[in-house]
Structure 1
Amino acid sequence: MSQSKLPRVRNHIARAAAEQLDWVSYSARMSDALRTVIPHERCCWHTVDPGTILFTGSVNQNIGCSGSWLAHYEYEVEDVNKWAFLAHSGRLAGAMSLDTHADLSRSARHRSQAEYGIGDELRVSLVSDGIYWGAAAFLRDADEPCYTAEHVAAIAALAPALATGLRQSMLHEVQTAVTTLDYGPGLVVFDAAGNPESVSPAAERWIDEIVEVPAPSTPIESKVVQAVAARARAITPGTDPLELAARSRVRTRSGAWLLLYGTRLSGAEDGRTAVIIQPATPHEIAPVIAMAYGLSPRECHLTTLCIQGRSTKEMAHAMSLSVYTIQDHLKSIFDKTGVRSRGELVGQIFLEHYAPRWEPAASTPSGWWASGID
């Protein structure tokens, strides 16, 4: 592989990001562009909630894996190069062959899929400005050469640009159809071992709108649902009293937003968990949308105050800043989001992503502020 190819690939990434592709189209374009520097026969891409690092969508090419398999090996089993570790550590990328010292069988993940003719795996976490937005893996057939340190360095160098493009693409709809709210919250129940017990009809309908390519074989095998359930099982009782860790904000095919949250159930059988699926409220989605526009934490806070209808003086008091500093921050926010006024900003952040699709859901859980991968 020649390092001279990297500038060309970076230019391809920048052009794709400028085309305002949806994230499924963007990942397909990137798979093709990266093949010149990262040879692969199979690959997968996942979007994640930057606040909880749980999957919110997936695209697989020439590889099949169930949601239960992916959740088990990413959130429950110790293994090399888990995406969350790559993001937190700052390594961003790693090759299984290098991190198992050429003995792929040392990886539980590899042992579970070796019979399908899969060889080495190169993983990358897509982090932009310290915020973890997605993950990708590139796989070789068993009879193909393993990845090298040069491949790892190449994908790590490209990761920030890939992450920025993915972040921007998540603002665009996968399809233009508009969904109307004609059913209530859905429920999926799992036993203590993580086996599905039941799924409500409403949950099946919501899951059908989540972006997963190919679609899960059954609604309960949704990678997004299984990730939330795995996180709920993994949380030590009493350590997350507000149940914020097992939550995920998910944008559907139509551009609407869902909130999925997992919880332990009490009763005769200890260890059972449930995943609840319902429309997300504006308070829950505003932070992730603001970050998708590339706003800083302070700008995200200021955007939330705008949505609340605060005056400039009230914003200055709330943030312990001068009125002039608030005005400077507002100008930066307007530049990043492509608007000219606070009214347009609220329309961009709130109306475009929320009001056209949902009526407010009653008695929904309060949101949380997505502050990156800390």
Structure 2
Amino acid sequence: MAAQQAMEGLRELAGAGLTAEKVFRRADELLRTLLEYDAVCWHSADPATGLVTSVLSDDLSLTGFETAVRLEVWADDVATFPAIRRSGVRAETLSRVTGGRLTDSVRFREMIGPAGFGDELRAVFDAHGGMWGCAAFMRAADRGPFLAQQRELADLAARHLGNALRACHVPPAGANGRRAAEPQDEGPAVVVLGPANRPLALSGPAEELLGRLADPSRTPLGVPTAFAVAAEQARRAARGLAVSQAKIRVQDGEGRWYVLHGSTLKGGSEGDVTVVAAPATPADAMPLYLSAYGLTAREQEVALLLVRGCDTRDVSRLLAMKPYTVQDHLKSVFAKAGVASRRELVARIMLGGGTA
């Protein structure tokens, strides 16, 4: 009964109009007793790549957070967030993956074990083709491993949290249905990070943007997690190692998307990286808005063709659909995006939540 009530509570978060931080805090209230964890670290993520973009934890000391960032990007470890996502499940434990040999995990040897914890349960929050966040739950070493039913419960909870976090990314509309005003004269923000991912230099717009993208929990880095991850990705690429993608997308509290791109400096100190953050172009932002509105893959295809100027006949031909099927998809798209016409839909997608 308690588990059923918790799942219902998590399901309701998708329609509660909460921020990601409030979703995480409410999820903690609902899950802590059921999963029996002693500490949790919540993360928002770039829905396109799954790369972590923020951190929230009231339980953990984040004094060594630069090590956590480095391990996430560099370590060839087991039960990583990307590995869990690829596996087809939403939640996994270190004890199950390692057969009880927790020291097979790099992050257990370097961080989890030394902090006094034993087993770790990780979950990824996917919905509508995007990974909107993830979490790592830990329990004290003397409490034994997470139980199978707790992993299964976390898997179910992750589905609801994916939908709740997706809903958080639907951009708010300002007065009269128009999106809140953009910052004036906003250009790219440039941050130079040292080897430990602490800022060495900032461009004019960077300080204000860093404040808007700040993590819910304070870390010693001095920059949001997304900037540190972008820097580590750039260092990997400079070594000729594979990276999931060179750029990272992150949304501010007013629904604006930014694209972060890191690059190593030639002629500078070893390990220094420049991270440039620029407002997302329509090409970068449109797929994110469509996913945030909860459109299915087919509905997204229809919506994108409409943005390109196609009419019902064009969409029917290009997607090999019957015209009435296209109309059914359009009705669903309009309902999910909160619009009443194609013109409004195009404006909402292009303006990131506003209407013309």
TM more than 0.5: yes
Q: What's 1:164 paired with?
A: 163
Report the 3-state secondary structure (helix = DSSP H, G, I; strand = E; otherwise coil) of the residue aligned with 1:59. coil
Q: What's 1:233 paired with?
A: 235
Which residue, out of 194, 200, 203, partners 1:200? 203
Tell me how far apart the structure 2 counterparts of residues 130 and 285 of structure 1 sit (CA, whole Å): 15
**RMSD after superposition:** 3.2
Flag the 1:279–1:144 CA change in 2: closer, same or farther, 3 A.
Answer: same
Flag the 1:50–1:238 CA change in 2: closer, same or farther, 3 A.
Answer: same
Report the 3-state secondary structure (helix = DSSP H, G, I; strand = E; otherwise coil) of the residue aligned with 2:134. strand
Which residue, out of 10, 13, 19, partners 2:10? 13
Tell me how far apart the structure 1 counterparts of residues 54 and 355 of structure 2 sit (CA, whole Å): 22
1:56 is displaced (CA, Å) by 2.9
* Structure 2 unaligned residues grouped into runs of 5+: 173-178
Tell me how far apart the structure 1 counterparts of residues 39 and 144 of structure 2 sit (CA, whole Å): 14
> Which letter maps to 1:134?
G
Stretch moving more, 283-292 or 176-185: 176-185
Say if 1:229 and 1:246, in contact at 8 Å, map to a contact too: no
User: Is 1:276 the equivalent of 2:251?
Assistant: no
Flag the 1:267–1:308 CA change in 2: closer, same or farther, 3 A.
Answer: farther
Stretch moving more, 13-22 or 287-296: 13-22
1:196 is displaced (CA, Å) by 5.7
Flag the 1:207–1:107 CA change in 2: closer, same or farther, 3 A.
Answer: same
User: Is 1:32 the equivalent of 2:32?
Assistant: no
Q: What's 1:293 paired with?
A: 293
Tell me how far apart the structure 1 counterparts of residues 181 and 60 of structure 2 sit (CA, whole Å): 30
* Structure 1 unaligned residues grouped into runs of 5+: 357-374
1:135 is displaced (CA, Å) by 0.6
Which residue, out of 169, 176, 191, partners 1:188? 191
Flag the 1:266–1:328 CA change in 2: closer, same or farther, 3 A.
Answer: farther
Stretch moving more, 266-275 or 62-71: 266-275
Tell me how far apart the structure 2 counterparts of residues 355 and 215 of structure 1 sit (CA, whole Å): 36
Tell me how far apart the structure 1 counterparts of residues 43 and 32 of structure 2 sit (CA, whole Å): 18
Deviations 1:258-306 (A, max 9, x none): 1112234445778754321111122211111101222122322322233
1:195 is displaced (CA, Å) by 7.1
Flag the 1:209–1:310 CA change in 2: closer, same or farther, 3 A.
Answer: same
User: Is 1:56 the equivalent of 2:53?
Assistant: yes
Flag the 1:318–1:88 CA change in 2: closer, same or farther, 3 A.
Answer: same
1:189 is displaced (CA, Å) by 3.2
* Percent of matched pairs sharing the same residue: 30
> Which letter maps to 2:152?
A
Stretch moving more, 31-40 or 342-351: 342-351
1:164 is displaced (CA, Å) by 1.5
Q: What's 1:364 paired with?
A: none
Deviations 1:107-134 (A, max 9, x none): 3212333443333321111223554222
Say if 1:185 and 1:277, in contact at 8 Å, map to a contact too: yes
Q: What's 2:175 paired with?
A: none
- How many equivalent residue pairs? 349
Say if 1:76 and 1:234, in contact at 8 Å, map to a contact too: yes
